Amino acid sequence: MVTAAAVPGPTGNPLVGSLFDLTRRPLRTYLAARRDHGDVVRFLAGPPGLRAEFFAVFSPEGVHQVLGSEAANFRKENAFYDELRISVGNGLLTSQDDDYQRQRRLIQPLFTRRRVDGYANALAQEAQALAERWRGLPGGEVDAAEEMSRFALRAVARILFGADVDEAVAVVNRSFPVLGAYVNERAFAPVRLPRTWATPANRRGLEAQRALYEVCDRIIAERAARGGGDEDADDLLTLLVRARGEDGERLDPSELRDQVLVFLLAGHETTATSLAFALHLLAKHPEQRKLAQEEARTVLAGRAPTAADLDRLPYITRVLKEAMRLFPAAALIGRRAVEETVIDGYVIPAGAQVVVAPLVTHRHPEHWPEPERFDPDRFLPEEEKGRHRYAWFPFGGGPRACIGQHFSMLEAVLALGVLLRDFEVEVVDRRVALAQGITLRAASPMRVRVTAVG
């Protein structure tokens, strides 16, 4: 067994350790760390007196401990979750203990497969509206990242708010990028200034938060005043307002807002990332693109997609899974170890900050031959059967696995099916820079050329 101080890791800068590498190019730094030091890596970051120690875990077995078998020992307690909790509330993404268990009990019934499949018609309408808009664009070039973000935000806002979608989309589209950058900058700053100080960053971040809170609070209040909406309304906010536990417990207005903000954030940024990279990868790989297009045009010929088509589009599903392998929206996941534990033979001390990195584990050469190669057939049933459960975990795992993963897959498969049915796609920007904010995103244009067919 190797003690914490002897865990291998990069030396970094003599004054600040790995701070600059982790803040300026975190994804490249974690990939290099696994290559150079193995499956458990110790990082030191920050100047003397403020230097932080944390451990990155890359093996599927180690990830299983952190997220699955020993999940109770690894809590969502670090600077990132602290800042996110303050900014978007104590919803399912950030809450813990009794708060989390209570919220999960109330919300889980709203995310059954049957309930989610009921949203397929609305998702298909948004995908068809996107296709119509593309037909009217001059020049035929689109930025996949921007387009998929706009689509996914409209889709999740429609599912949440129903008829109130337009105002909410405008506010979220303007405010979330500002608030996300604010959370990320504060979370990884060596020194965090009080939010009450009137710095330019604080003013921008708090104004974005205020705008989001106001639009959510207004829509929630109007819905509550109508008794949760019309009797036959099935938008998610109406269902949240009506949700009751066995003892009559319910979500209060601030808890409703927290859940809405988390669903808007997690529900649109993650799906947008998956769709954008799937489209871009297909644009770069004509052989795989042809297979996906043939499937879409055969299955969806002349009609709108339905929930049943999720099982009829297996190749497109594999494309999305492979895109999520190479470019998982949650590229890095942080936890704090409550008690000392041993991972892959290394001692992780009590109180240590621990990071698992889907982007790195998804490219682990012991589990993924030629890991940089785009190959949707890695997700054929016979290939998946023999693979470690935590070699691929874009939706997390264990008791905190994403509640919305079926919704995300349904939305992404139906949308990609519509776009591949209706358009030829060619790559313009072959190389795309990556950045890590609240989620993984493109830091440079991701343009593709789309040409309508038929």
pLDDT at position 188 is 82
Q: For residue 379, what are its two tokens?
A: 């997700």
Q: Which of 71-85, 91-105, 159-173, 273-287 has the least mean pLDDT?
A: 159-173
Judge whether residue 412 has pLDDT over 80.
yes
**Average of pLDDT values for 91-95?**
92
β-bridge mates for residue 450, sequence order = 425
Q: Measuring CA to CA, which residue among 145, 184, 188, 160 is closest to residue 91? A: 160
- Give per-residue pLDDT as tens, 296-350: 999 999 899 999 999 999 999 999 999 999 999 999 999 999 999 999 999 999 9
pLDDT at position 331 is 95
Judge whether residue 415 has pLDDT over 90.
yes
**Average of pLDDT values for 134-158?**
92
Residues 6+ apart with CB under 8 A from 214: 171
pLDDT at position 231 is 57
DSSP of 56-72, one letter per residue?
EE-SHHHHIIIIIITGG
Unique residue bearing structure tokens 């193995």:
38
At 137, the pLDDT band (50, 70, 90 cuts) reads confident
At 165, the pLDDT band (50, 70, 90 cuts) reads confident
Unique residue bearing structure tokens 């890590």:
436
pTM of the model: 0.94
pLDDT at position 233 is 66
- How much of the chain exceeds pLDDT 70, in percent? 98
**Average of pLDDT values for 89-112?**
91
Judge whether residue 230 has pLDDT over 70.
no
Determine contact, residues 366/35, Cβ cutoff 8 Å.
no
At 248, the pLDDT band (50, 70, 90 cuts) reads confident
Q: Cα(427)–Cα(448) distance, rounded to whole angstroms?
A: 5
**Average of pLDDT values for 365-386?**
96
197: left (phi over 0), alpha (psi -120 to 50) or beta: beta
Determine contact, residues 368/449, Cβ cutoff 8 Å.
no
Judge whether residue 228 has pLDDT over 70.
no
Q: Cα(120)–Cα(295) distance, rounded to whole angstroms?
A: 19
pLDDT at position 406 is 96
At 249, the pLDDT band (50, 70, 90 cuts) reads confident
pLDDT at position 138 is 79
20-39 burial string, b = 16+ CB within 10 Å, else e?
ebbbebbbebbbebbeebeb
Q: Cα(412)–Cα(273) distance, rounded to whole angstroms?
A: 10
- C-alpha angle 10/14/17, rounded to 5°? 45
Average pLDDT over the chain, rounded to whole? 92
228: left (phi over 0), alpha (psi -120 to 50) or beta: left
Unique residue bearing structure tokens 């104004």:
207
